[in-house]
């Protein structure tokens, strides 16, 4: 288990800039079957993957599956303190033990021939065992793989010789533990099969250079120029200031309708607000903190900018967190098992439940936990590309990404020409190179 | 008399000023409006592409659709609905009538946009 970091707040220091070069990133990485297979063999099966939430398996015997590429992984709570992960496959004839999704099992009995396994994966029953004249090898069982937890989340790794999750995550727990992900509950769970390569989706969320083209409406509410970018060993972040207008926005003194929307969220009436533009962001930050405290939410580990801004973290290879005080939205990009032009876009929204124990409070104890009920676990919804509206901003990305994918497949297109503000993309490719070409992690 | 009927019509030109699929920019109060001859009928829409809140320009009209000359968004001029991306939101439309050979537009200032919090993933938490 990853140790919870000292809660001294999210570090703000600018990370040193690594030397990443300036060459084109080859388009084939996004379109070729050969590269898709390389990624699977050398990266996806070697890297730690966010599999799901502990909240989905509160009791012994509870399980969920995690589908990644051609694999399905069964994650089960064996006991109160022990989580295990198995390949979701019966060693007898290869049938999948359980359907994709969430469930509960006392034992795992394969529906095909009734081979039965306990929650440790041990084979406990073979019907008509005497008919296996060669005998059933004693080691026959569900194949286990490394699994660990952080921030209320279960992670798995298909490399049995992998580094620890703690080593893999690096600075991330120190940065994100102040948000208390473990106290956040899922309020939306969607998967959309997108018609684009998984990396094109990652890229679209890792730069704000495209805001003026694809999301012009949000120039009314954020600064897309003065964005701090920090590149760590494998993961990266940018800090996007909200609560002001973009330097590109024509009227720098206008308290726009989007800013008024943010003010309403913070509990400020925009019609009676008597400040000017420079007062908006600090007023929202102050009001947000006061509103949270009144609602019993503990934001004492977060700084003022975190009251308004999107601290946007990318955990290699496929996790994007739009992190806010009181909640976050996770994007998870999963590769398609056979087609480099498709992917699965998981969209999960999490909300902090008010009035749990103040983490830094002197008298914080279990007896003070509130009676606020967590929201019911939302149903997992699945869609094809364009079947469902995801909200204006994500609809705009969803519209654009298949066009990017088609264009990258053109014989006229050579590769990604990346600017300084887009350097998180180059950083991702550098990390990918380390898996594909570098020493085996 | 209903409230709709109280909104006055404003003369914007002579009948016959536009050939089929032609557009003309007219201003009423502080709003830029495009007068469009689509399928032989006159329509009036706000000259503001909702993709990026800049003018549609001399957009091309085919059938009842106008295409923004800048990024290719399309709108149905009969009801203002966005029919091709990158626009998602409808544009404002205004009733048009021909009276005594004069084209008149019933102008009503478009509603300002609703206040919406634009942050992806921000969870509004309850008030105390």
pLDDT in tens, A7-43: 569 999 999 999 999 999 999 999 999 999 999 999 9
Domain tally, chain A = 2
Reported as a single tens digit per residue, the pLDDT across A280-307 is 999 999 999 999 888 888 899 999 999 9
**Please, which residues 172-201 of chain A have a Cβ atom closer than 8 Å to chain B?**
187
Residue ranges making up the domain that contains A80: 49-161
* pLDDT, average across residues B9-24: 94
Average pLDDT over residues A145-162: 97
User: Which CATH number is B3-106 given?
Assistant: 2.102.10.10
Q: Within this chain, do residues A2 and A65 fall inside the same structural domain, yes or no? A: no
CATH number at residue A157: 2.102.10.10
Question: Mean pLDDT score of chain A, rounded to an integer?
Answer: 93
Query: For A92-101, A160-169, A295-304, B30-39, which range has the lowest pLDDT when averaged over its residues?
Result: A295-304
Among A102-116, A373-387, A396-410, A427-441, which stretch is predicted with the lowest mean pLDDT? A427-441
- In the DSSP assignment, the letter for residue B114 is P
Q: Which residues of chain B lie closer than 8 angstroms to A397, CB-CB?
A: none
Give the residue from chain A lying closest to B86, CA to CA: A396
Query: Which pLDDT band, with edges at 50, 70 and 90, does A1 fall under?
Result: low
Whether residue A167 is contained in a domain is answered as no
- Asked if B1 has any chain A CB less than 8 Å from its own CB, the reply is no
A295: nearest CA partner in chain B: B128
Q: Which of A142, A161, A180 marks a domain boundary? A: A161
Residues A20 and A153 both lie in one domain: no
Exposure pattern of A40-56 as b/e (b: 16+ CB <10 Å)?
A: bebbbbbbbbbbbbbeb
Q: Which of A261, A350, A396 sits opposite B115 (nearest CB)?
A: A261
Taking CB atoms and an 8 Å cutoff, what residues of chain B touch A264? 115, 117
pTM (2 decimals)?
Answer: 0.89
Q: CB of B128 within 8 Å of any CB in chain A?
A: yes
Please state, as a whole number, how many other Cβ atoms lie within 10 Å of the Cβ of residue A201.
25
Percent of chain A, pLDDT > 70?
A: 93
- Give yes or no for a contact between A224 and A310, defined as CB atoms under 8 angstroms apart: no
Q: What is the mean pLDDT of residues A416-422?
A: 97
pLDDT digits (tens, 9 = 90+) for A109-131: 999 999 999 999 999 999 999 99
pLDDT band at B119; cut points 50, 70, 90 = confident
Q: Which of residues 413 through 432 in chain A touch B, CB cutoff 8 A?
A: none
The 10 Å Cβ neighbour count of residue A189 is 20
Residue A132 included in any domain? yes
Q: What are the chain B neighbours of A294 within 8 Å (beta carbons)?
A: 127-128
Whether residues A98 and A125 fall in one domain: yes
A324/B123 Cβ within 8 A: yes
Q: B97: helix, coil or strand?
A: strand
| A194 and A321 fall within a common domain | yes
Question: For B86-90, which contacts have Cβ atoms below 8 Å and span 24 or more sequence positions?
Answer: B86/A214, B86/A396, B86/A399, B86/A400, B86/B51, B87/B49, B87/B50, B87/B51, B88/A392, B88/A395, B88/A396, B88/B50, B88/B51, B89/A392, B89/B50, B90/B50
Count, residues in chain A: 441
Contact B53 A217 (CB under 8 A): yes
How distant is the Cα of B66 from the closest Cα of chain A, in angstroms? 20
- Contact (CB, 8 A) for B28 and B12: yes
Q: What is the pLDDT of residue A361?
A: 45
The count of other CB atoms within 10 Å of the CB of residue A359 is 15
């Amino acid at each position: 288990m990853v140790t919870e970091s000292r809660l001294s707040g999210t570090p703000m220091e600018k990370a040193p800039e690594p030397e990443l070069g300036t060459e084109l990133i080859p388009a084939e990485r996004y379109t070729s079957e050969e590269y898709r297979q390389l990624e699977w063999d050398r990266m996806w099966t070697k890297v730690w993957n966010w599999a799901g939430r502990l909240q989905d398996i509160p009791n012994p015997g509870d399980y969920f599956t995690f589908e990644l590429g051609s694999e399905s992984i069964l994650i089960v709570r064996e006991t109160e303190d022990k989580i295990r992960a198995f390949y979701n496959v019966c060693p007898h004839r290869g049938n999948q033990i359980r359907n994709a999704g969430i469930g509960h099992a006392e034992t795992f009995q394969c529906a095909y021939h009734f081979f039965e396994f306990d929650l440790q994966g041990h084979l406990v029953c073979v019907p008509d065992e005497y008919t296996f004249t060669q005998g059933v090898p004693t080691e026959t069982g569900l194949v286990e793989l490394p699994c660990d937890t952080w921030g209320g989340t279960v992670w798995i790794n298909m490399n049995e010789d992998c580094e620890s999750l703690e080593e893999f995550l690096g600075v991330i727990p120190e940065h994100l533990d102040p948000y208390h992900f473990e106290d956040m509950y899922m309020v939306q769970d969607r998967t959309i099969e997108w018609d684009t390569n998984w990396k094109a989706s990652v890229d679209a969320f890792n730069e704000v250079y495209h805001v003026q083209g694809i999301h012009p409406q949000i120039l009314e509410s954020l600064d897309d120029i003065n964005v701090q970018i920090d590149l760590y060993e494998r993961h990266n972040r940018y800090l996007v200031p909200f609560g002001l207008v973009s330097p590109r926005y024509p009227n720098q003194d206008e308290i726009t309708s989007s800013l008024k929307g943010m003010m309403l969220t913070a509990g400020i009436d925009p019609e009676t607000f008597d400040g000017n533009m420079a007062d908006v962001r600090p007023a929202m930050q102050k009001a947000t903190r006061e509103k949270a405290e009144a609602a019993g939410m503990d934001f004492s580990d977060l700084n003022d900018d975190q009251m308004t801004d999107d601290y946007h973290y990318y955990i290699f290879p496929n996790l994007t967190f739009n992190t806010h005080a009181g909640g976050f939205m996770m994007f998870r990009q999963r590769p398609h098992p056979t087609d480099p032009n498709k992917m699965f876009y998981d969209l999960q929204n999490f909300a902090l439940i008010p009035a749990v124990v103040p983490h830094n409070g002197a008298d914080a104890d279990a007896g003070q936990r509130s009676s606020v009920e967590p929201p019911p676990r939302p149903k997992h919804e699945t869609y094809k590309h364009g079947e469902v509206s995801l909200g204006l901003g994500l609809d705009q990305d969803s519209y654009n990404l298949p066009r990017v994918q088609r264009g990258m497949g053109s014989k006229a297109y050579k590769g990604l020409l990346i600017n300084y503000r887009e350097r998180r993309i180059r950083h991702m490719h550098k990390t990918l190179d380390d898996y594909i070409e570098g020493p085996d992690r | 008399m209903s409230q709709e009927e109280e909104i006055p019509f404003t003369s914007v030109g002579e009948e016959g000023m536009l050939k089929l699929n032609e557009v003309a920019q007219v201003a009423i109060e502080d709003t830029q409006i495009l007068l469009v001859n689509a399928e032989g009928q006159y329509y009036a829409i706000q000259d503001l592409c909702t993709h990026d809140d800049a003018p549609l320009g001399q957009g091309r009209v085919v059938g009842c659709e106008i295409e923004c000359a800048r990024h290719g968004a399309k709108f149905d001029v009969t009801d203002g609905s966005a029919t091709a991306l990158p626009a998602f939101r409808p544009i404002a439309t205004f009733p048009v009538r021909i009276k005594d050979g004069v084209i008149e537009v019933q102008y009503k200032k478009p509603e300002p946009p609703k206040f919406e919090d634009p942050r992806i993933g921000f969870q509004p938490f309850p008030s105390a």
